[in-house]
Structure 1
Amino acid sequence: MTILGDILRSNPAAKISTSLHRKGISIRHVAFALAFSISLWTIYYNYLRRSDELQLFPEEVFYYPPETPEVWSDRALQVKNAFLHAYHGYERYAFPRDELRPLTNESIDNFNGWGVTAVDSLDTMLLMGLQEEYKRALPMVQQSNFSLPQNLDVPFFETTIRYLGGLLSAYALTNDDTLRAKADVLGTLLSPVFNTTSGFPRFSVDTFSDYGGSHNSVGVLAEIASFQLEYAYLGKVTGKKEHVDHATAATRAFAKADLSLSGGMYPTRWDINIGVPVNLHMSTGALADSGHEYTLKQYLLTAKTDKANLEMYIRATTHIINNLLFISPQRQLLYVTDIMTWKDDVRISHQFEHLACFFPGLLALGVHTLPLDRLDTLGINVTDLFKDLPVKHRKAYEELAHFNLADLHLWAAQGIAQTCYLTYADQPTGLGPETVQMRSGGPFGEIPWMEAMQVWRKRGRKGSPPGVGDKRQWAGDHNATTAKERDIAANSRDYGVRNQDYYLRPEAVESFYILWRITGDVRWRHRGWAVFEAIERVAKTPSGYASVNKVNTLKPKLQDSMPSYFLAETLKYLYLLFTDEDPVPLDKWVFNTEAHPFPVFEWSASEKAAYGIP
């Protein structure tokens, strides 16, 4: 006892331990209680901190000079010259093959060998007034028979959006019957892909033997839901019911699918034989993007008469806004990501893809063309759209009633588009990486956008909505080389770069163009100009433009690839962004997912009767 007494006198903690021990309480009990208390406090603190974080970074005010019309006209001319540089390099070294390799000045046939760069570029030439280049491309188009050697499959999705879309758009701009006839031939040759029970297309087709191609029973949403614009317009200009039937069959298949488990939104993978989703992966990225895009655009193309596609658009965007939009914890960057549900396990990826940068443009287009807060005038009962969904999804929709829906969609568009821009501006090259991993803030730090919006609303809507106000580009250390240095950089930037490549993609500037046209806000022009300057500075080669690797470093590397969509989309959207003239107004033309514009049309009474269109 003497020894024990000495220990107790010299060690008060031991004295407390002995006292607790006599009461049947051990140090382990105390440690557990302490840890449990800390956990509760952490949860409580982080819950409260969600609303506090909205005030961490006060809104900044930026000045965007309006510039004179002459300045923007000159910038449009510089984009036209960039197109000529790229296309002339293609003509010199690769025509009539598919694409130019801009480092080795070689050619590659990676899209059937039918001269995809030329066909994809036809309407860009027309919109830019490049008649000589257009005339030189026409003979190749006129001579093509759109067939390959036996047993070589043609990918349906890429062929439809690039070739068929390019031909139809050029026809719409010129009324050249040769182009319409070629589009009819190609659309017919591709049609065996629709020989499925559901009407969804297979991945590929053999245009030589009229064989339906791949028998894979699972299709990716972006590929099975991105042909309605092309086939509906092809049916309109040719008068052929079979083309229209392909578009309407897909709409009917989607309309009757059970989407209750996915909140009314299309998942990424479908059984194309029976027309049902086979996963619960929700995305606006590579597997799904244009599938969502075509719901609104099919409605607009048909003069706002395709009610089924409009309903699909409203359900999808509601689910995305409620479930797939998040705010980063430090810079408050608004982004859209993926969610995968497997049984009771819900996983949020917090990846943000460059491909998803089309989505703000789509939202903005909806704001411009739809009476979002008066959908009843279009015969849409919004409550009925969600009545068959689980309670959690119905309640989430009801939360949107606190906001004007048009405002909410536009805020989301502006915030996400700004984040798209910042992923460019943050890099030393000024070019945006393919994929970034957004910082979610830890287990208690995920901040859904609508949760932040509700806090903002309850505080009196002071300042810009969360994620929408102007943000400065990152001023971090681009020289980070070690893993630790990169982690520190990612934390201050609010994201890490997963894929360092810039593939000359158009999605960000597409959204800038649409936001500029519908809001008149000059910031989108300035942001597009910054992107174009970076492309000129980093990606230009003596014969064209190259995809770029390691855009997040001071030593980027060029890749030997110049995709046809760079001429069909990226340069086209930049040109339209900088020209004051509006040759394809958004209320009269609809761009397919490869930026080929089709004119809005109406079905006649006889066409509706013949094609079974409501």
Structure 2
Amino acid sequence: MTIILGHILRNNSTAKIATFLRHKGISIRHVTFALALSIALWTLYYNYLSRSDELQLSPENGFYYPPETSKVWSDRALQVKNAFLHAYHGYERYAFPHDELKPLTNESINNFNGWGVTAVDSLDTMLLMGLQEEYKRALPMVRQTNFSLPENFDVPFFETTIRYLGGLLSAYALTKDDTLRARADVLGTLLSPVFKSTSGFPMFSVDTYSDYGGSDNPVGVLAEISSFQLEYAFLGKVTSKKEHVDHATTATKAFAKANLSLSGGMYPTRWDITTGTPTDLQLSAGALADSGHEYTLKQYLLTAKTDKANLEASDIRATTHIINNLLFVSPQRQLLYITDMSAWEDDIEFSHQFEHLACFFPGLLALGVHTLPLDRLDTLGINVTDLFKDLPLKHRKAYEALAHFNLADLHLWAAQGLAQTCYLTYADQPTGLGPETVQMRLGDNNSETPWMEAMQVWRTNGSKGSPPGVGDKRQWVGDFNATTTEEDDSDSDTAADTRDYEIRNHDYYLRPEAVESFYILWRTTGDVRWRHRGWAVFEAIERVTKTPSGYASISNVDTLDPEQSDSMPSYFLAETLKYLYLLFIDEDPVPLDKWVFNTEAHPFPVFQWSTSEKAIYGLL
């Protein structure tokens, strides 16, 4: 038929065509059918089969991630770079030198000290993307900002450290511009009064004009009282100032004194900054705690794997407790998720809420697998048995249960399963964007399925197929109008019962945590599915959040008509777009064995303390 159609197309004479068809016994009806079939096949190919960014069925495992050429991925990286330019140029035009752009009204907002947080947060993203003109335009503001004006009476330590101090230090690391190092030194010094608490934990805020640090709240949350070690350690290294290094070791020493027996060796969420002791037994890897767990491993890696105290606290005790206690499997699609727990004496309660903020954790697990000899920790001088000997019997037994598994495999399975669930909370929505918080559904009679219990059953049954919660899962397809809300907790949500969760917070805040984990999993495993999933997220960002001047957070990710909000956080440029760009380019300019990202995605180079530095700083 193709030969016939080709012959027809090569001859433009109606008479010749009619004669040819009659000679071959072909009617007009035959030709019409052939043309319609060709058009249908052509449409099918270009709309579905040729779309390399969508999963395709495969007889091996039900899913197929088509291989892409380097050019395809470099083109996608270029699209991310263009997205950054669109967002940053909108900020430059309507908001610079203020903190953030309001992308709907084209106004500015000073919500982080008024020091131009979007520009400072974006410096290293510009450098990694090769955007020298934008970088040069930002430098005068960075050099001239006065960090100690009278109105700077309530500077939040945590956000200022990770965004401003981290941004300055990372840009210095990439350029060796001494001006940036000097500005970081000034800022780090002005922030230091927050460490004047009796425990050494930092207070919430600081007055950078009057040298006063403090707040009325004596309770600090884990993420805020511990997420400064990377910044101050690197600041101390590049300035050779002992006071900065002392601040970096403050958290490690304070945590080492704490009694963690009731929490299984894991840091609780809230702490008394006067006494340096936990005030509750709420355990979480989400809001208020996330970067506290992140920095323990990363401080060990940043110092060329010499900070053993942080390693013992992170990838061994805390991660063991999380794997044994905070990971569950949903009864519908067998999705792996991480939640938080609260304990009062022997009464333990799990919320079964899964936060987008917790989607950093699979990346942290994968980073640990990539950088640590998890099944040969003795080679690092660590006696694992000693780490658990002072804990209650139930925690010691929980760790012993892990001995049936290869720890590297176990941690990687957990990383893959959790990251997939993070992705599905995006793919399940008509917007393609993930909600801030979901409430995972339980089984019959509110039954829970802890992941390690399911893993033990899987092992006992011969470890057949993928481990529980691991392996490709299909996205949910259903009636989005049937989704329950916080206000509607009735049992009438029958159409959405097959989905594994109800959405509690329907907003998407342009957050980076999911794509951060995709990036780390891609770089550490080479599994192309994480690139495809990242691309799907970026396409949704372009389709749903873009405005004429930037990108906007959105409400109601689970509707066909979401609303944009007048907010473009600086971390969207510092983290979300940076991780997507690094996910799509072939050669990583900041490889994970030579650089360590702070919690705002600012990369610092791995370094070693010299013998003299160790002696001077008391690090021996």
TM norm. shorter chain > 0.5 = yes
Matched, 1:566 2:572: yes
CA distance in 2, matches of 1:486, 1:302: 54
Give the TM-score normalised by structure 2: 0.89
User: Aligned residue for 1:556?
Assistant: 562
445, 470, 473: which one aligns with 1:471: 473
Structure 1 position 61, deviation (Å): 2.4
* Alpha-carbon distance, 1:343 to partner: 2.4
1:485 Cα deviation from its structure 2 partner: 8.4
Shift in Å at residue 199 of structure 1? Answer: 1.0
1:442 shift after superposition: 4.3
Q: Distance in 1 between matches of 2:142 and 2:128?
A: 18
Residues 613 and 560 of structure 1, relative CA distance in 2, 3 Å threshold: same
Aligned-residue offset at 1:147: 2.3
| Structure 2 equivalent of residue 439 of structure 1 | 441
Of 328, 342, 345, the residue aligned with 1:343 is 345
Match of 1:537 in 2: 543
Q: Secondary structure of 2:238's match?
A: helix
Partners of 1:474 and 1:141 in 2: CA distance = 46
Residue identity in the other structure for 2:533: R
Distance in 2 (alpha carbons) for counterparts of 1:438 and 1:430: 19
Aligned to 2:215: 214
Cα–Cα, structure 1 residues 215 and 247, in superposed 2: closer, same or farther, change >3 Å? farther
Question: Which runs of 5 or more residues in structure 2 are unaligned?
Answer: 1-58
CA distance in 1, matches of 2:214, 2:481: 49
- The alpha carbon displacement at 1:60 in A equals 4.8
In the alignment, structure 1 segments of 5+ residues that lack a partner are 1-57
Q: What's the counterpart of residue 30 of structure 2?
A: none
Do structure 1's residue 605 and structure 2's residue 611 form an aligned pair? yes
The answer on 1:379 being equivalent to 2:381 is yes
Alpha-carbon offset, residue 69 of structure 1: 0.4
Amino acid at match of 1:340: S
| 1: CA distance, partners of 2:550 / 2:446 | 48
Give, in whole Å, the separation in 2 of the partners of 1:195 and 1:273. Answer: 10
Q: Within 5 Å, which residues of 2 pair with 1:358-507?
A: 358-443=360-445, 445-480=447-482, 487-507=493-513
Question: C-alpha offsets along residues 285-328 of structure 1, whole Å, 9 cap, x if unaligned?
Answer: 01100000000000000000000000001100000000000000
Counterpart residue identity of residue 373, structure 1: D
CA drift of 1:444 comes to 5.5
The aligned counterpart of 1:139 is 140
Q: Which amino acid aligns with 1:189?
A: L
In 2, Cα distance between the equivalents of 1:400 and 1:473?
31
Note if contact 1:358-1:511 (Cα within 8 Å) is conserved in structure 2: yes
Q: Quick one: which amino acid aligns to residue 357 of structure 1?
A: C
Q: CA deviation at 1:494?
A: 1.0
Identify the residue that residue 4 of structure 1 maps to in structure 2. none
Corresponding residue for 1:172?
A: 173
Contact 2:285/2:340 (CA < 8 Å) preserved in 1?
Answer: yes
**Match of 1:194?**
195
- CA deviation after TM superposition for structure 1 residue 587, in Å: 0.3
Distance 2:548 2:495 in 1: 35
Structure 1: distance between partners of 2:554 and 2:60? 33
CA RMSD of aligned residues (A): 1.3
CA distance in structure 2 between the aligned counterparts of 1:504 and 1:330, rounded to whole angstroms = 28
Q: Is the 8 A contact 1:59 1:463 kept in 2?
A: no
The worse-fitting range, judged by mean Cα deviation, of 236-245 and 204-213 is 204-213
Deviation at 1:216, TM superposition (A): 2.1
**Contact 2:483–2:502 (8 Å) recurs in 1:** no
**How far does residue 481 in structure 1 lie from its aligned partner after superposition?**
6.8
- CA change 1:216–1:198 in 2 (3 A) is same
Q: Could you tell me how far 1:478 is from its partner in structure 2?
A: 1.6
> Contact conserved, 1:148 with 1:206, CA < 8 A, in 2?
no
- Asked if residue 223 in structure 1 is aligned to residue 229 in structure 2, the reply is no
1:210 Cα deviation (Å)?
Answer: 0.7
Answer whether contact 1:479 1:554 (CA < 8 A) is retained. no
> Relative to 1, partners in 2 of residues 1:500 and 1:521: Cα closer, same or farther, differing over 3 Å?
same
Equivalent-residue separation in structure 2 for 1:384 and 1:425 (angstroms): 44
Q: Is the contact made by 2:483 and 2:503 (CA closer than 8 Å) also made in structure 1?
A: no
User: Is 1:546 the equivalent of 2:576?
Assistant: no
Deviations 1:213-232 (A, max 9, x none): 31421100000010000000
C-alpha distance in 1, partners of 2:444/2:201? 41
Q: Is the 8 A contact 2:510 2:569 kept in 1?
A: yes
C-alpha separation in 2, matches of 1:413 and 1:115: 35
User: What amino acid does structure 1 have at the position aligned with 2:474?
Assistant: R
**SS of residue matched to 1:274:** coil
Q: Secondary structure at the match of 1:282?
A: coil
Q: Secondary structure at the match of 2:410?
A: helix
1:91 paired with 2:97, answer no
SS at match of 2:508: coil
Q: In 2, are the aligned partners of 1:59 and 1:469 still within 8 Å (CA)?
A: no
Secondary structure class of the residue paired with 1:450: helix
Alignment partners' CA distance in 2, 1:204 and 1:490: 44
> Does the residue aligned with 2:209 lie in a helix, a strand or coil?
coil
1:271 aligns with 2:272: yes
Q: Post-superposition shift, 1:342? A: 1.5
Is residue 482–residue 496 contact of structure 2 (8 Å, CA) maintained in 1? Answer: no
